[in-house]
Amino acid sequence: MSGANDFWYIEISGLADGIYEFRVYADGTVSETRRIRVDTQPPQITVLVYEAGEDWINWTWENPEDFDYIEVYLDGEPKQITENNFFNATNIESGNHTLKLVVYDEGGNEVSLTFYASAKPQPIEILTIEEVMVKRDTLEVYEEDKWVLVEYETIVEKVTVIFREGNETGYRIKHRVKVLETNATGYSFWIIVNVTKDIVYSTDKMILPKDVVVIEREPVVGLEIPDPKKGDEAELDVIILTGVEENKFMKGVEITHVITRKGSTEEVKMDIKESIYEKTATSISFEGEKVTEKTEVTVTPQPRFPVTRIILLVAGVFSAVVIYIALKKRT
């Protein structure tokens, strides 16, 4: 302990993160118990989603427990310092925008996170032109000793999307899953749509519901089932605006299923991208697939002789037998 007169202090290093209690003893007296938090880890934002219109984007997120405040930047310009868990950008140009959050916690740690979103025209109506594929099956997804068994249904449709400014063609993917069994409680189960750049170059050409997370803008998106349990259901419904031919589209789209640990948005995105690029995820490829829900015409092999001919033949044999018996009686 160091100090003099009324000011004394002690330095202790190497403490693990956590909450510690201390008392001071002096001249036979004891101070009240004080608490101090040791925190060397940067704060984490675990969930971030957004909604967008033609000239606005609304981001929302979950603040960490020990956070202090957040600096918000839009397209590189400082916008506000806030303790809220949302930011609304209004009267912005249609197109791509970047949100940067610098998050500070009570321990003075900070982390900088960057997210992307697009303000774009919203569809007035979506018209289904043709059903391209329907596929139903079960699959089991593994991550080390964790697993999830699901049944799924995937529907791919050709669509025309009507906007106020005009129409665009594309494909709609509806992928539904139901958890049959799992031991991945406490983890997250993700449904991922991965599209090659020769189909669309970025998520700007995709229509996404608000619960879908952009994993990568070029273009990978996902839907999370947090803490999966038996009976949980989810549907990922996305539209990809492209005019490519059906065969090319089916080759360029893959649906992947991933189990991840819970963590910050950036950590989860990194885990998902590693699973996709290292081919350790469980994927469904549509290359060569066609509609499975169609009426099959069963062709019954024709008999060697027509039925009428067989009946006549039998009748002829019967007549011959009768005639033979009658002749035999006369003799």
SS3 104: strand
- Structure confidence by residue, pLDDT tens digits, 138-177: 999 988 899 999 999 999 999 999 988 789 999 999 999 9
Q: What is the pLDDT of residue 120?
A: 77
For 46, 79, 82, 100, 279, the CA distances from 73, given in Å and listed in that order, are 19, 5, 11, 5, 35
Q: What is the pLDDT of residue 289?
A: 57
Q: What is the pLDDT of residue 47?
A: 64
Tokens standing for 240?
């990809």
Residue range 48-119, CATH number: 2.60.40.10
For 4, 233, 256, 258, 331, the CA distances from 180, given in Å and listed in that order, are 68, 10, 18, 16, 82
Q: Does residue 153 contact residue 137 with C-beta atoms inside 8 Å?
A: no
Q: What is the pLDDT of residue 301?
A: 34
10-residue stretch averages of pLDDT, the chain, 331 residues long: 75 82 79 80 76 86 86 94 92 87 89 82 87 91 91 94 89 96 92 92 85 84 92 95 92 91 78 78 69 36 34 38 38 40
Closest by alpha carbon to 67, among 84, 87, 43?
43
Q: Is the backbone of residue 154 left (phi > 0), alpha (psi -120 to 50) or beta?
A: beta
Closest by alpha carbon to 257, among 135, 148, 144?
148
Q: What is the pLDDT of residue 290?
A: 55
Q: Does residue 19 contact residue 37 with C-beta atoms inside 8 Å?
A: yes
Measured CA angle at 309 (ends 303, 311), to 5 deg: 100
Domain boundaries, the chain: 2-38, 48-119, 125-285
Q: What is the pLDDT of residue 183?
A: 94
Beta strand 95-105 with 67-74 is antiparallel
Cα(193)–Cα(156) distance, integer angstroms: 12
Q: What is the pLDDT of residue 192?
A: 93
Helices (H), the chain: 246-251, 265-277, 307-330
Closest by alpha carbon to 167, among 96, 237, 247, 239?
239
Cα(82)–Cα(79) distance, integer angstroms: 10
